[in-house]
Amino acid sequence: MTTTQSKWLDAELKYDSGVYNKHHVVMTRGLGATVWDESGRSYIDCVAGYGVANIGHSHPDVVRAVKEQVDRLIVMPQTLPNDKRAEFLGELVGVLPQGLERVFLCNSGTEAMEAAKKFAITATGRQRFVSMKRGFSGRSLGALAFTWEPKYREPFGDAVDNKNVDFVSYGNVEELRAAITDQTAAVIMEPVQGEGGVRPASAEFMQEARRLTKEKGALLILDEIQTGFCRTGKMFAAEHFGVTPDAMTLAKAMAGGLPIGALAMTAEVADRMPAGGHGTTFGGNPLSMAAGVAAIRAMKREGMAEQAREKGAYFMERLRAIQSPKIREVRGLGLMIGVELKEKSAPYIHALEHEEGVLTLQATPLVVRFLPPVTISKEQIDTVIAAFERVLQTVDPRAERRAELAQGAEEKQSE
Ligand SMILES: *Cc1c(COP(=O)(O)O)cnc(C)c1O
């Protein structure tokens, strides 16, 4: 394996920090729901940059907007107003649920969670939080405190300060009621848990979370970083449940692929944060703003929410029709889909990539997750289904494990 590696792969493996389990492939181009590696091989991309490329890779409107903006202005801090930023804020607030009319701009989902934490504390004068078991909120020390899975937190010990966080079972109204007190600043939850295994919330749980937070003077903060921007068949997943939060964290698909993040909130939440209380250098940069304007307009013009709803229903119907004793459950909302297997999903994800040219991702060890661009065609969905059926039949997890161990040994030797 090592001798046939390209110089690009060699360099990444050599210089990277080592926190990523890198696939042995070098991706060089993308368009719509297709990406190509350096040898010219094409893949149907159901990873989409972890749910970033909702409107497809290199959407022509985003490409044009970025090209135009790059010639005009790339950086401008937020103390200095900028035409593209103003335009973006107008577009964003225009699609947000009613009542969310103020925005803190940043560069990633994790940063949006950090902002949510600080704004919730200043808005309520309280410091306790309720988060969800199986929830995922990001990797910074502050956001990690809301992340349930111990493997993300434990290596960093007490530096992850989650003494002030109570975790409740996602969907358990009784536990939620017991956890929310008059010390609670906010309840934080994903409308569909992503990393936790693609689990949609029940309407009852979401509505109770809304009611109980209001009753106790706490905020309801929805993490729509993965679910937002048409992924689930609505512009925001909260719309499925008839719930309007006090704040929403946004990132991933918001700028058609460029780095961006935001905390959207009510005026009451925003108004209690003092000037200078938070900030970031790259947040609201004109380049991401131009891309964001183009992306949100494309979502509206091309009816991307409707497309995600229809294609997601079709995708899940086809998955549910697969007859395989290896499948435990097919779950999801719109084009955020998970298939829970009765065994580890990694060998299947590996085979889909290598043998079938289909990129998928894991969500918990048992789940194969599909987050394709909303622009994926029915024919591409059919191809993915056929590929998945084949790997379910051909992959022998024990043989795969032996091959993995053998490959690991080979790599060790060649070092
Ligand atoms: C991806 C994700 C995050 C973290 O976002 P980054 O941009 O990777 O920092 C937080 N919450 C949810 C639900 C996510 O899916």
Structure tokens at 249: 């964290």
- Are both 7-55+303-414 and 60-301 of the same fold? no
Q: How far is the CA of 50 from the centre of ligand 1 (A)?
A: 9
Considering the segment(s) 60-301 as one domain, its CATH architecture is 3-Layer(aba) Sandwich (3.40)
Asked if residue 107 has its Cβ within 6 Å of ligand 1, the reply is: no
> In whole angstroms, what is the distance from residue 369 CA to residue 284 CA?
31
Ligand 1, atom 15, residue with closest C-alpha: 226
Residues 199 and 336: beta-carbon distance below 8 Å = no
Q: What is the pLDDT of residue 403?
A: 63
Q: Is 110 annotated as a binding residue?
A: yes
Q: How far is the CA of 137 from the centre of ligand 1 (A)?
A: 6
Q: Is 260 annotated as a binding residue?
A: no
Helix (H, G, I), strand (E, B) or coil at 193: strand
Q: What is the pLDDT of residue 162?
A: 84
Please report, for the chain, the start and end positions of each structural domain, with discontinuous segments joined by +.
7-55+303-414, 60-301
Give the atom of ligand 1 at the shortest distance from the alpha carbon of 143.
Answer: 10
Q: What is the pLDDT of residue 406?
A: 58
Domain 7-55+303-414 CATH (choose: 3.40.50.720, 3.90.1150.10, 3.50.50.60, 3.10.580.10): 3.90.1150.10
Asked if residue 225 has its Cβ within 6 Å of ligand 1, the reply is: yes
CA 313 to chain centre: 20
Give the atom of ligand 1 at the shortest distance from the alpha carbon of 140.
Answer: 9
Residue keyed to tokens 């085979």: 351
Q: Kindly report the CA angle at 281 between 278 and 285, in degrees rounded to 5?
A: 115
> In whole angstroms, what is the distance from residue 347 CA to residue 79 CA?
50
Q: How far is the CA of 309 from the centre of ligand 1 (A)?
A: 22
Helix (H, G, I), strand (E, B) or coil at 261: strand
Residue keyed to tokens 């004068």: 125
Residue 285's identity, in one-letter code, is N
Q: For the whole model, what pTM was predicted? A: 0.95
Rg for the chain (alpha carbons), in Å?
A: 22
Other CB atoms within 10 Å distance of the CB of residue 322? 14
Q: What is the pLDDT of residue 413?
A: 39
Q: What is the pLDDT of residue 2?
A: 45
Asked if residue 223 has its Cβ within 6 Å of ligand 1, the reply is: yes
Q: How far is the CA of 397 from the centre of ligand 1 (A)?
A: 30
Residue 355's identity, in one-letter code, is E
Residue keyed to tokens 């149907």: 44
Question: 402: buried, middle or exposed (CB in 10 Å: 19+, 13-18, 0-12)?
Answer: exposed
Q: How far is the CA of 138 from the centre of ligand 1 (A)?
A: 5
**Taking phi first (over 0 means left), then psi (-120 to 50 degrees means alpha), and beta for anything else, what does residue 364 get?**
left
Residues 165 and 143: beta-carbon distance below 8 Å = no
Q: How far is the CA of 113 from the centre of ligand 1 (A)?
A: 8
Residues 192 and 224: beta-carbon distance below 8 Å = no
Helix (H, G, I), strand (E, B) or coil at 169: coil
Asked if residue 194 has its Cβ within 6 Å of ligand 1, the reply is: yes
Residues 250 and 112: beta-carbon distance below 8 Å = yes
Q: Is 136 annotated as a binding residue?
A: yes
Mutation test residue for ligand 1: of 114, 223, 225, the one with most atoms within 8 Å of CB: 225
Mutation test residue for ligand 1: of 144, 252, 263, 362, the one with most atoms within 8 Å of CB: 252
pLDDT tens for the chain, 415 residues long, are 444 579 999 999 999 999 999 999 999 999 999 999 999 999 999 999 999 999 999 999 999 999 999 999 999 999 999 999 999 999 999 999 999 999 999 999 999 999 999 999 999 999 999 999 999 999 999 999 999 888 889 999 999 988 999 999 999 999 999 999 999 999 999 999 999 999 999 999 999 999 999 999 999 999 999 999 999 999 999 999 999 999 999 999 999 999 999 999 999 999 999 999 999 999 999 999 999 999 999 999 999 999 999 999 999 999 999 999 999 999 999 999 999 999 999 999 999 999 999 999 999 999 999 999 999 999 999 999 999 999 999 998 777 666 666 555 444 433 3
> In whole angstroms, what is the distance from residue 365 CA to residue 345 CA?
6
Ligand 1, atom 6, residue with closest C-alpha: 109
The alpha-helical segments, DSSP class H, found in 199-326 are 203-216, 238-241, 267-271, 286-301, 304-320
Structure tokens at 223: 């993490």
Asked if residue 138 has its Cβ within 6 Å of ligand 1, the reply is: yes
Residue 290's identity, in one-letter code, is A
Q: What is the pLDDT of residue 391?
A: 98
Q: What is the pLDDT of residue 108?
A: 98
Q: What is the pLDDT of residue 5?
A: 73
> In whole angstroms, what is the distance from residue 382 CA to residue 121 CA?
48
